[in-house]
Amino acid sequence: MRVNIPETGQKRIVIVGGGFGGLTLARKLSKSDFQVILIDKQNHHQFQPLFYQVAMAGLEPSSISFPFRKAFQNHPNIYFRIAEILKVDSENNKIVTSLGIINYDFLVLAYGAKTNFFGNEKIEEKAFSMKSTGAALDLRNTMLSDYEQALIESDFDERQWYIDIVIVGGGATGVEIAGALAEMRKYILPKDYKELNAKEVDIYLIQGGNQLLQGMDPKSGDTAEQYLIERGVIVKKNSRVVDYDGEYVITQSGEKIKAGKLIWAAGITCNRLEGITELSYNKANRLLVDKFNRVENYENIYAIGDMAAMISDEFPLGHPQVAQPAIQQAKNLARNFKKLNNKEDWKPFKYKDLGTMATIGRNKAVAEIGRFKIKGFFAWLIWLFIHLYALIGVRNKLIVFINWIWNYFTYDQSLRLIINPKSTSNRRKK
Ligand SMILES: Cc1cc2nc3c(=O)[nH]c(=O)nc-3n(C[C@H](O)[C@H](O)[C@H](O)COP(=O)(O)OP(=O)(O)OC[C@H]3O[C@@H](n4cnc5c(N)ncnc54)[C@H](O)[C@@H]3O)c2cc1C
């Protein structure tokens, strides 16, 4: 197979992955003297922080996605190919991709992280995750189909299987899903599924540690927990899910919860790449990088974002795996690449923490910005505007904004279409 990219005589930077890090880097290099090749296994950038709203039928996937080709329409030095990286041949400065071989002068790995099931294959097979638009849509279709089934199911236990949901992981993703589900139960179910007793729908949030939102101040975790409890979510802390057979969720203490949907939001890990020495990885499968994001043991291979671990006294495990480090590392690396022509010294990366936040639903959020800890309506407004600002594309910003305003005043959205009623997840065989 041929990748069909001309050799232009320019130095070539190959970027693998067009997430927050890769897309920012490519954009920042779009007016440079480099030939930039971006590869991604999808043809579009995905705004992961809003996956859960797609899963909860609050937003359409198109409004949180942005096609790469559109991003680079007016930039002749940027080439995009839909391809997966398979292997690195660092001796010969080449990567092997699903489309063929691509040579590089500089390689930037930015292909992010994947859900960590901690080796539990059964859970991996049966659970829903939240790591792609497809996964979010799968959950949406299954959830809506299950409500339909529950309506016609007369057996109480069987009905519980269709309607009860267990979420594992009390980080921002788990908390946000639980909050959105609780709102759906309160505002949507009584209107859409009148014959279903919404009080029968149990939403569990199971967290291994003793605090929700563990990266945040314990007070923010407590506030989030309080908000969830007020919304009727059953929060179980210091509890670990050890098994799920598609029928029952089993915790370490032996508790059994009957539920047809287990949403796994308990952690992430990275894919190792053939051709990169084991010595360059840390225990969490992240690539160890120096303060310029150069991968240890390589001269011209870089890693940014979720997959990079830049170890320092302040960040002994690397930076948090959230959007800002990826974006900021990409910007710094782009600036440094541009210095190559003038043989200027490179600038080490310095992380600027812009804050952490999570929303628990309408008017409720927690946010930590610098030394300020904010909660409630004001935090929720900040959450809304920061997410709108961060979305790529004016059209997307507008559509999401209109959707949110509509939802806010009508207590409703109208996206509850089951487009593909057949779930790709393999729950129980009936
Ligand atoms: C559900 C969810 C909610 C989140 N909420 C927040 C939030 O509220 N705030 C926040 O700051 N962060 C949040 N995050 C984390 C944030 O999305 C990540 O930290 C950020 O996306 C990391 O950026 P990245 O560039 O490293 O990788 P990603 O953005 O993950 O991008 C990786 C890209 O690489 C591509 N790719 C993957 N494998 C390959 C391959 N083999 N070959 C080619 N291409 C490949 C993917 O298609 C993707 O486009 C959330 C994450 C998830 C999953």
pLDDT in tens, 145-171: 999 999 999 999 999 999 999 999 999
Angle at 279 between CA 274 and CA 282, to 5 degrees: 95
Q: What is the mean pLDDT of residues 178-185?
A: 95
Query: Ligand 1 centre from 195 Cα, in Å?
Result: 39
Q: Mind listing the domains of the chain with CATH numbers?
A: 12-41+83-113+270-339 (3.50.50.60), 121-268+362-410 (3.50.50.100)
Query: Ligand 1 centre from 305 Cα, in Å?
Result: 8
Mutate to test the pocket of ligand 1, among 111, 357, 386 (most ligand atoms within 8 A of CB): 111
Q: Which residue has the higher pLDDT, 301 or 429?
A: 301
Contacts 24+ apart (CB under 8 A), 272-277: 273/85, 273/87, 273/88, 273/109, 274/86, 274/87, 274/88, 275/87, 275/88, 275/89, 275/90, 276/88, 276/90, 276/301
Phi, psi of 172, rounded to the nearest 5 degrees? -60, -40
Query: Ligand 1 centre from 349 Cα, in Å?
Result: 20
Query: Ligand 1 centre from 357 Cα, in Å?
Result: 17
What type of residue is 134? G
Query: Ligand 1 centre from 323 Cα, in Å?
Result: 8
Atom number in ligand 1 closest to CA 83: 43
In 3D space, the residue among 114, 95, 72, 99 whose CA is nearest the CA of residue 16 turns out to be 95
Question: How confident is the model over 187-198, as pLDDT tens digits?
Answer: 999 999 999 999
- In sequence order, what are the residues at sequence separation of 6 or more whose Cβ sits closer than 8 angstroms to the Cβ of residue 409? none
Instruction: Grade residue 253 by pLDDT with cuts at 50, 70 and 90.
Output: very high
Residue 396 Cα distances to 21, 193, 321, 370, angstroms: 19, 30, 24, 29
What type of residue is 150? A
For the beta carbon of residue 55, count every other beta carbon within 10 angstroms: 26
Instruction: Grade residue 6 by pLDDT with cuts at 50, 70 and 90.
Output: very high
Query: Ligand 1 centre from 124 Cα, in Å?
Result: 19
Instruction: Grade residue 423 by pLDDT with cuts at 50, 70 and 90.
Output: low
- In sequence order, what are the residues at sequence separation of 6 or more whose Cβ sits closer than 8 angstroms to the Cβ of residue 281? 272, 287, 288
**Residue 351 exposed, middle or buried by CB count within 10 Å (0-12, 13-18, 19+):** middle
Question: How confident is the model over 96-111, as pLDDT tens digits?
Answer: 999 999 999 999 999 9
Query: Ligand 1 centre from 381 Cα, in Å?
Result: 24
- From start to end of 193-336, where are the E strands? 203-206, 234-236, 241-244, 248-251, 256-258, 261-264, 268-269, 287-288, 301-303, 308-309
Q: How far is CA 82 from the centre of its chain?
A: 20
Atom number in ligand 1 closest to CA 330: 25
Contact in structure between 375 and 219 (CB atoms under 8 Å): no
Question: How confident is the model over 254-295, as pLDDT tens digits?
Answer: 999 999 999 999 999 999 999 999 999 999 999 999 999 999
Cα–Cα distance for residue pair 409/398, rounded to 1 Å? 17
- From start to end of 174-324, where are the E strands? 203-206, 234-236, 241-244, 248-251, 256-258, 261-264, 268-269, 287-288, 301-303, 308-309
Secondary structure (3-state) at 97: strand
Instruction: Give pTM, 2 decimals.
Output: 0.95
- From start to end of 278-383, where are the E strands? 287-288, 301-303, 308-309, 356-361, 364-369, 372-375
Does 390 score more than 90 pLDDT? Answer: yes
Element (H, E) at 38: strand 35-40
Query: Ligand 1 centre from 47 Cα, in Å?
Result: 8
Instruction: Grade residue 250 by pLDDT with cuts at 50, 70 and 90.
Output: very high
Which residue has its alpha carbon closest to ligand 1 atom 42? 84
Cα–Cα distance for residue pair 328/85, rounded to 1 Å? 24
Q: How many residues does the chain have?
A: 430
Atom number in ligand 1 closest to CA 86: 41
Does 2 score more than 90 pLDDT? Answer: no
% of residues, the chain, pLDDT over 70 = 97
Mutate to test the pocket of ligand 1, among 48, 324, 369 (most ligand atoms within 8 A of CB): 48
DSSP string, 103-172: E-SEEEE----EE--TT-HHHHHH-B--SSHHHHHHHHHHHHHHHHHHHT---HHHHHHHH-EEEE--SH
Average pLDDT, the chain: 94
Query: Ligand 1 centre from 20 Cα, in Å?
Result: 7
Q: How far is CA 48 from the centre of its chain?
A: 4
Does 8 score more than 90 pLDDT? Answer: yes
State the pLDDT at residue 416.
82
For the beta carbon of residue 105, count every other beta carbon within 10 angstroms: 14
| Ligand 1 binding site (Cβ under 6 Å of any ligand atom) | 16-22, 39-42, 48-49, 51-52, 84-85, 110-112, 130-131, 172-173, 305-306, 321-324, 326
Atom number in ligand 1 closest to CA 132: 53
Q: Which two tokens stand for residue 6?
A: 């001309």
Cα–Cα distance for residue pair 25/106, rounded to 1 Å? 13
